[in-house]
Structure 1
Amino acid sequence: MSDSDSDNTPLAKVYKNHAVSQAHISKAVDNAMDKAFSNASVAPAGVSVRNGPVIEDKMDIDEAATNGNTKRKARASISKIVNYGGNDESDSGSEVPLAKRQKFNGKSTAMDPESDSDNEPLARHDTRLPPKLTASAFGEDSSDDDEPIVAKVAKKKASIEKKAEKEAKEIRAKESKSKNKKPVDDDSDDLEPKFKKRKSSSAAAAKKTNGIKKEDDSDRPLNKKTPKASIKKANGKVKAETPTPAKKGKKSEDEAEEVYRWWDAPQKEDDSIKWNTLQHSGVVFPPEYEPLPKNVKLRYDGVPVTLSIQAEEIAGFFGAMLHSTLNVENPTFQKNFFRDFSEVVKKTGGARDNDENKIKIQEFAKLDFRPIFEYYEGKSAERKSRSTAEKKAEKAAKDEAEAAFTTCIWDGRKEQVGNFRVEPPGLFRGRGEHPKTGSVKKRVTPEQITINIGKDATVPSPPEGHQWKAIQHDNKATWLAMWQENINGAYKYVMLAAKSSIKGQSDHKKFEKARELKKHIDRIRKDYTKDLHAELMADRQRATAVYLIDKFALRAGNEKDTENEAETVGCCSLKFEHVTLRPPQTVIFDFLGKDSIRFYDEVIVDTQVFKNLKIFKKSPKKDGDDIFDRLNTTQLNKHLNNYMPGLSAKVFRTYNASFTMSTLLKELKDNKLSIPEKVKLYNDCNRQVAILCNHKRTVGAGHETQMEKMNDKVKALQYQRWRIKQMIINLDSKQKKKKGSEWFELESDIDEAWIVEHQAFLVQQLHAKIENKFAKDNEKLAADDKKEMKQKELDERHEATKDLRKKFRKENMSHKVEPEGKGPTVEKFYTSVEKLDAKVNSILLSAEDREGNKEVALGTSKINYIDPRLTVVFAKRFNVPIEKFFSKTLREKFNWAIESVNDEADWEF
């Protein structure tokens, strides 16, 4: 078929039952497309108008066989008891004084009929879509209607991109000047000397193969490669520096380990060498299977059956999770489980009834797992009912047994090991609609495990009667042990913990690469904007893909073996049905993204990008055909490497988030705000980053409940504050005239019915507190072999409950509150009121923050994409404890960021 520019030439040709784009785009096609869009009004481009992805409440499946079990009711959560008066400031909300709750209805939101276009997204399991972008989500006043929120977001994004362009030019000019070289001509298409010079699309067209997309070895999933290749893939280059000299003087074993400041240490000449010496204790295996009692058996068609130990264990996997209806009622889960279970039953002698007659297990629907479920539930209840002393003793014994496995000796220093436990056997669940969900995860044996350790180190001993698969001494690898799991054939690795120096160096390298991208981002954007008009189809597809990755944080996407893996896609692997075009500039993405989570987003793109996607989808392309049929991830990353060594598509997400956060933080001013206000200020910036960089989420089902709990908590504090104010009047009636009668009034949304209900809760709370304290005191006496207290003591303690009930009844009748506490004074009560004012304001601020963050994945941005040093810089500049932003685990993980910024006060991204 000819690739001529004739108007009659079809845009695509059929190749192996799939339509593929022509190698070149004729001028006639471009002109026709320009004419079709000539009268279209141009909207602000480069922004998303939805808050995705879609999280489905449950799978849309056919009615499944029940196996004799009914749906198990959700466990009622046991509410935490708060201190009297609401002094607990936990955000969990589990301590709410009121029982009244407005339940989340969970109803789906139907697709908005925004246009009558026949190019609408295909029907999905769940039609509920993410909410549209709102002014409040972006931190804008929703009452200001002068400018649409989409335009504001687009304007902000454009401003940040313009700043990035200016900064890139300044950095290159500064570097050029420092090297005594002629400054780089910013209008030139040439790269810096150390990078490969790029050729224009027209000049290079004849030399490019422009071939049809085909799977490349380096683009295959990890589990499809050979073990050796997989190992190399898993070991990304991480700078390994030599340790800093130890301080003089001996250090006792009880003293804390000296922190290895790898960021200060000199670099090794060969950074592919990760370690010189390595010693570790191997892995911890799960306990052996404990057979069921003889009276607990699986039933088939109502008949108890006896199975082999192997088959019984697998039946136990299913029986123990009957409460997880999302899984056990999933037809795919049932099908895969029954296939593996039946196979094991046949291989191990079959099933027999009590008279030793063979039972043929042929139908899943006739299996009844209730006896197994009830047995394991009883065991679970028994474990939970143990005393605190018993639980602590068991934990101490377990910690002692595993102590040797938690650390390793890496180049003479102690490092924390991460996942040293071998995963126990069970049923594979997977993410989303994984095709292998329900398959049996087999028990991993020592014969499957390869140990990586130093040549002169002592090899850990395998369990008695077993041996390791292999012992190797690969000092270019950072894993300690490796095996292949049976579900997807993927390799599992025992690595160092997130807080280890090796993992820290990996994070540091990721963010430094994003900082390096600052120098080249303007050139990259200039080039892909130019190539959006390229004549060569491969160039135009690549430019469009980079645009989508840069502007909307789409993942690059790798090709999958759909028979063995969940059919998840990214930008380069988008199919015809995943992209819907709504004129004049709206593109709708609807596909299964990372972790099989449905990704749905509506974005406004540049007019040329919209035209290109229309060309890429032009007939005879249909469902199943690739949008970017002349591009794959390997080709894309190879192209990006021309700009900067090590640059790949995923670096854009890190760069955009970090640069955006850096820009927003520089605009902030410290106006003598309180700590909670400063935290909210940071979160507001984080939220804008998440929106501008498309790290968003749907509103969680529990959001409304959490907001109501916070509201009830505020009302509890307001009621306590009102009682104290009444005590002030009781002590000195003149204070009412002094402060004004309004100051002493109760909030308008707190009525008598609420007060009575809240008082009942406080009485119940005190009752439960006394009961728990009595039980713990008796438990402690029993542990010390002392005589336990009798019921009489408990009855005496409950007098306080009766007194509190009487007090509330008296207050309700007299409308007066007697002063409480030792030596009550007006001054003391005023101090108490001020403290309660601060608590109320803090919770209200937190509630406002939570409401603003309901559609934004702040954690994703802060932990994975925003350089942690930016958070540390904010904490130092605004004098906020770092604990307000990073949990203990994150502080350990990002210790390098905290320490390095402390050493470099003027650090900038």
Structure 2
Amino acid sequence: MSITLKDDSSSDDEDVVLKRVSKGDKQTKKKLKRVKKELSDGDDSDEDEEIVHAAKKKQKKLKKEKEDAVLRNTNGNGDSNGKVTGRLKVKKERKEKKEKTKKIKKEEVSNEDDEDKNLADIASETPFQSSARASSIELKESSEDFKWWENGDKEDDTIKWTTLKHNGVIFPSTYEPLPAHVKLYYNGKPVDLPPQAEEVAGFFAAILESDHVKIPTFQKNFLHDFLQVLKENGGARNGVQIKEFGKLDFTKIFEYFQVQKEQKKQLSPQEKKQLRLEKEELEKPYKFCEIDGRVEQVGNFRIEPPGLFRGRGAHPKNGKLKRRVYPEDVVLNLDKEAPIPEPPKGHKWGEIRHDNTVQWLSMWRENISNSFKYVRFAANSTLKGMSDFKKFEKARMLKDHIDKVRTDYKSKMKSPKTLDRQMAVATYLIDVFALRAGGEKADDEADTVGCCSLRYEHVTLRPPNTVVFDFLGKDSIRYYQEVEVDAQVFKNLKIFKRPPSGPGHQLFDRLDPSILNKHLQNYMPGLTAKVFRTYNASKTMQDQLDLIPNEGTVAEKILRYNAANRTVAILCNHQRTVTKGHASSVQKATERIEELEWQKVRYKRAILQLDKSERKKNQNYFKEIDDLTKEEELTIHKRIIEREREKYKRKFERENEKRKFSKEDPIPDSQLLEWLAKVDDLEKLYERESTTGKIELRESLQNLEKLKQNVEKLEKRITNCSLQLKDKEDNSTVALGTSKINYIDPRLSVAFCKKFDVPIEKVFTKTLRDKFRWAIESADENWTF
């Protein structure tokens, strides 16, 4: 047995290294903790995130240096002396223990005969999970690892699946009648309603303060359906005859609902969490299905509850009753060998199908427009991903045919056949201005139009070549654009508007979407008017991204990316109304910037206190000190103090609610008083500074370099906040999400992030990252549409 002797000096050196590294590690941890706290308090600027990233990186580096030092301090046999050896040994034992535990857990999960498996878990398993318990880990892994986009054949075949198992749908809860003293009143008299009619009356009462109930069409449709339900269930029990809407009084029901709503608001966070957990437990069996041996997520597995229809815009069916859906109305789709889910007690399913050529799990017909509603796979599922991929690839294919399409419709602009001219102009409008194809609408549908269904009054011509479009598009969103068109297009539109054509007449009277789409198939298989919107949206985004310089901060790059996205949204007419909280959100952001500006001025004043000669060196640097008025400063002080007091009061309430839920003793009032005393001290500090003009900073900041560094950090933060505010205001009336999710190829966003070193989280939410996983993993920084 040989013994390796260690050089004592070497050991001392390694101990020095360890001490240095440990000290650095502690400092990094403190910095990381401080920045994370700032982030949790609302400072979510890009600069802070970059600090966190850098600190984590440094922490990792220090940890490795520490390990290397420990290893160097160990002899060849693994024997060592002193504290270092102890640390290494403990660390090694911990690692071995962790790996052993991990291995045991894996073996326990994979063993189908594991007698120690929790019975509650087994009870909550879905039928297909229960039958496949032995291979549950394999199923999960195959779902996560199945990268269909790496396969050679990405085409969506007719057969969508071979095996399909799921647990059906969740039905809305049954109606609970109102208390006996809560009544609908008619002409001052209480009405004793049967439960079915009472539920419908409650639907109206619940939205009594909304704008919908003021619409005559809404009132008329509601009254018609309400009286019908009342008649079906034997009328009012106390014989009250309801005939006029104006004599109905829903106040008592509305007030009861308001009380219920307030009681829900008064629930503690723990009680709300408990309710949420109970809801999640109930929904768990329905959230996933098994398709071809993979566990995939289901989209909306809930049956829509009954209520009153609230369509967008002046929809003729506003206020009509959406009737309750029962299991007898529902069709389930599974494979032939799959266990059929149990319907609610006392009911049976409408039909069980085994159709593997469709991508839905269940369906039912709703009564408003007599159309089908479907439960489909979730947005992040394999089949939905394949469908998205195919859609964007088809749009990419169009770039190889677009020149031919454009040449052809330009040549047909002067055709002697009216149909050819209308086809050419319609294709031009769809291609250049991204109009939807449009289609005929029934009398009981909203009067929304697209290109093919444009009427005489929707288009105004202004010589020499300006066209004004003004009509209601999809979802009753107004499309208003003044555009310049080719001379021949203008001339043709003028011909289409000639007498006897007038208001109410179709502009393209010989054309409809089916004729147009059939014609487009001649240029490219699968080409429809909709493909043009996807193509033009993605092409426009590509062109806009190509103009962005690879410079500036992450916030500046995101601002430019959103500007590109906004260009596409405007092209596609993706508008939205300004949200109710927009004004307060803008005010809050503006006040935050003001506070940062004040803090910057405060630090600059502190710099001059330490060295007055600094002003002579750079007068512009200190110019803003004089721009901040006394009144503005006092307003900022007051706002900060009020916010701090409110923060501690909320913290006190929140902590006591937690303790109450956990049946612990509450925090004494003295703790709150101690917290508020700190705020009082801060208020006095600000008052002294305001009175004397002398800045009182902690000792660690009594340093010129540190103060200048803090000023620089604040300037970056102000820039980032200002950019975010500008972005917020620019996007207030434009819906960026619609174009980003449905029309812009997600690989463009991925390529932008990779090329410009922008975190993908800044562009895609967690939901979108799951949905577009195929794009994130398949596109690199050089990918182009």
Q: TM-score, normalised by structure 2?
A: 0.80
Tell me the residue number matched to 2:436: 555
Report the 3-state secondary structure (helix = DSSP H, G, I; strand = E; otherwise coil) of the residue aligned with 2:600.
Answer: helix
Q: Which residue in 2 is equivalent to 1:349?
A: 234
The aligned residue for residue 683 of structure 2 is: 805
How far apart, in 2, do the equivalents of 1:907 and 1:87 lie? 38
1:658 offset after TM fit, Å? 1.3
Corresponding position of 2:774:
896
Q: Quick check: 2:143–2:296 contact (8 Å CA) kept in 1?
A: no
Cα contact 2:452–2:512 (8 A) shared by 1: yes
**Are 1:847 and 2:725 counterparts?**
yes
CA distance in 2 between partners of 1:591 and 1:268 (Å):
39
* Alignment match of 2:159 (pick from 252, 273, 296): 273
Name 2:783's counterpart in structure 1. 907
Give the aligned partner of residue 285 of structure 2: 404
Output one character per residue of 1:846-895: Cα deviation in whole Å (capped at 9) or x when no partner: 33444554565433332222111011111111111111111111111111
Post-superposition Cα deviations, 1:96-146, rounded to whole Å, max 9, x if no partner, equal xxxxxxxxxxxxxxxxxxxxxxxxxxxxxxxxxxxxxxxxxxxxxxxxxxx
Distance (Å, rounded) in 2 between the aligned partners of 1:847 and 1:270: 43
CA distance in 1, matches of 2:272, 2:731: 38
Task: Specify the alignment match of 1:220 in structure 2.
Answer: none
- Report the alpha carbon displacement of residue 377 of structure 1 after superposing the two structures with TM: 1.0
Find the partner of 2:606 among 727, 750, 774: 727
Q: Return closer, same or farther for 1:400/1:760 CA change in 2, 3 Å cut-off.
A: same
Name the structure 2 match of 1:328: 213
Aligned partners of 2:156 and 2:387 also within 8 Å: no
1:863 aligned counterpart, secondary structure? helix
1:814 is the counterpart of 2:692? yes
> Which stretch shifts more, 784-793 or 426-435?
784-793
Task: Give the 3 Å change call, closer, same or farther, for CA 889–821 of structure 1 in structure 2.
Answer: farther
Q: Helix, strand or coil: the match of 2:483? A: strand
Partner in structure 2 of residue 871 of structure 1? 749
**Counterpart code for 1:832:** N
The corresponding residue for 1:340 is 225
**Selected match of 1:829 from 689, 707, 710:** 707
Task: Find the counterpart in structure 2 of residue 645 from structure 1.
Answer: 525
Per-residue deviation, 1:756? 1.4
Q: Which moved more, 1:508-517 or 1:789-798?
A: 789-798
Out of 742-751 and 758-767, give the one that drifted further: 742-751
Please tell me whether residue 666 in structure 1 is matched to residue 620 in structure 2.
Answer: no
Name the structure 2 match of 1:309. 195
Q: What does the per-residue CA deviation read over 1:451-480, in whole Å, with 9 as the maximum and x for residues that have no partner?
A: 000110001110010000000000001000
Q: Please, which of 397, 412, 425 is the counterpart of residue 516 of structure 1?
A: 397
Q: Distance in 1 between matches of 2:677 and 2:461?
A: 72
Residues 1:88 and 2:65 aligned together: no
Amino acid at match of 1:663: D
* Structure 2 match to 1:419: 300
- Tell me, yes or no, if structure 1 residue 538 matches structure 2 residue 416: no
Matched residues in 1 for 2:41 and 2:675: separation?
22
Counterpart-to-counterpart distance in 2, 1:821 and 1:395:
48
Q: Take 2:515 and 2:625, find their aligned partners in 1: how far apart are those partners?
A: 64
Moved more, 301-310 or 842-851: 842-851
For the residues of structure 2 that align with 1:83 and 1:258, how far apart are their CA atoms?
Answer: 34
Tell me the equivalent position of 1:290.
176
Aligned-pair identity in percent equals 49
Aligned counterpart, 2:144: 258
Identify the match of residue 578 of structure 1 among 436, 450, 458: 458
Query: Following TM superposition, by how much is the alpha carbon of 1:785 offset from its aligned partner in structure 2, in angstroms?
Result: 2.3
State how far apart, in whole Å, the 2-side matches of 1:840 and 1:270 are: 49
Shift of 1:260: 1.8
Tell me the CA shift for residue 572 of structure 1.
Answer: 0.6
Q: CA deviation at 1:679?
A: 1.7
Moved more, 598-607 or 427-436: 598-607
Matching of residues 4-153 of structure 1 within 5 Å: 88-89=42-43
Give the whole-Å Cα distance in 2 for the aligned partners of 1:641 and 1:825: 73
Please name the residue that 1:51 is paired with: none
Q: Distance in 2 between matches of 1:739 and 1:397?
A: 66
Higher relative contact order (CA 8 A, sep 6+): 1
Give distance in 2, aligned partners of 1:624 and 1:854: 34
Shift of 1:335: 0.6
Aligned pair count reads 660
Amino acid at match of 1:594: K
CA shift, 1:763, in A, is: 1.1
Q: Is the 8 A contact 1:715 1:750 kept in 2?
A: no
Shift of 1:363: 1.0
Say whether residues 1:366 and 2:251 are aligned partners: no
Counterpart position of 1:635: 515
Letter of the 1:681 counterpart:
R
SS in 1 for 2:145: coil
Q: What corresponds to 2:78 in structure 1?
A: none
Further displaced range: 271-280 or 704-713: 704-713
Q: Return the letter of the residue paired with 1:516.
A: M
* Aligned counterpart for 2:185 among listed residues 299, 315, 329: 299
Which structure dedicates a bigger proportion of its chain to helix? 2
Residues 722 and 745 in structure 1, CA contact (< 8 A), matched pair in contact too: no
Residues 741-760 of structure 1 show CA distances to partners (whole Å, capped at 9, x for unaligned) of 54345466642222212211
One-letter amino acid of the counterpart of residue 767, structure 1: R
Code of the residue aligned with 1:364 in structure 2: it is F
Contact 2:310/2:318 (<8 A) preserved: yes
Which digits, 9 at most, give the CA deviation of each residue in 1:348-393, with x for residues without a partner?
A: 22225xxx4x111111111111111111111111111111111111
Return closer, same or farther for 1:596/1:262 CA change in 2, 3 Å cut-off.
same
Asked if 1:607 is matched to 2:487, the reply is: yes
Instruction: Describe the superposition over 1:326-359 as per-residue Cα deviations: whole angstroms up to 9, x where unpaired.
Output: 101111111100111111122222225xxx4x11
- SS at 2:779 equivalent: helix
Query: Which residue pairs with 1:566 in the alignment?
Result: 446
Distance 1:270 1:550 in 2: 26
- 2:690 partner letter: N
Aligned: 1:394 with 2:275 = yes
Please tell me the residue identity of whatever aligns with 1:665.
Answer: L
Q: Which residue of 1 aligns with 2:557?
A: 678
Residue equivalent to 1:446: 327
CA contact (8 A) 1:578 1:589 kept: yes
**SS in structure 2 of the partner of residue 359 of structure 1:** coil
Report the 3-state secondary structure (helix = DSSP H, G, I; strand = E; otherwise coil) of the residue aligned with 2:277: helix
Q: Is the 8 A contact 1:85 1:717 kept in 2?
A: no
Give the secondary-structure state (helix, strand or coil) at the position aligned to 2:414.
Answer: coil
1:606 Cα deviation after fit: 1.2
| Alignment match, 1:169 | none
- Tell me by how many angstroms 1:414 deviates: 0.8
What is residue 639 of structure 2 aligned with on the other side? 761
Asked whether the 8 Å contact 1:592–1:599 carries over to 2, the reply is: yes
Shift in Å, 1:264: 1.5
Distance in 2, matches of 1:250 and 1:470, equals 29
Q: Which amino acid aligns with 2:188?
A: G
Q: Distance in 2 between matches of 1:649 and 1:394?
A: 47
Cα separation, partners in 2 of 1:852 and 1:339, compared to 1, 3 Å: closer
Q: Normalised by the size of structure 1, how large is the TM-score?
A: 0.69
- Out of 613, 620, 624, the residue aligned to residue 500 of structure 2 is 620
Equivalent residue for 1:492? 373
Q: Say which SS state the counterpart of residue 625 (structure 1) adopts.
A: coil
Q: Could you tell me how far apart the structure 2 residues matched to 1:382 and 1:704 are? A: 28
Cα shift at 1:256:
9.6
CA–CA distance in structure 1, aligned partners of residues 491 and 386 of structure 2: 43
Structure 2 match to 1:170: none
Distance 1:498 1:551, change over 3 A: same
Find the counterpart in structure 2 of residue 436 from structure 1: 317
| Deviation (angstroms), 1:808 | 1.8
Unpaired runs of at least 5, structure 2: 1-35, 46-134
1:659 offset after TM fit, Å?
A: 1.8
| Counterpart amino acid of residue 795 in structure 1 | L
The 1:876/1:85 distance shift into structure 2, 3 A limit, reads: closer
Encode CA deviations 1:384-405: one digit per residue, 9 max, x unaligned. Answer: 1111111111111111111110
Partner amino acid for 1:779? E
- How is 1:234-249 mapped onto 2 (pairs within 5 angstroms)? none
Q: 2:168, 2:301 within 8 Å by CA — same for their partners in 1?
A: yes
**Gap change, CA 1:646 and 1:699, over 3 Å in 2:** same
What amino acid does structure 1 have at the position aligned with 2:507? I
> CA shift at 1:291, angstroms?
0.8
Aligned partner of residue 873 in structure 1, secondary structure: helix
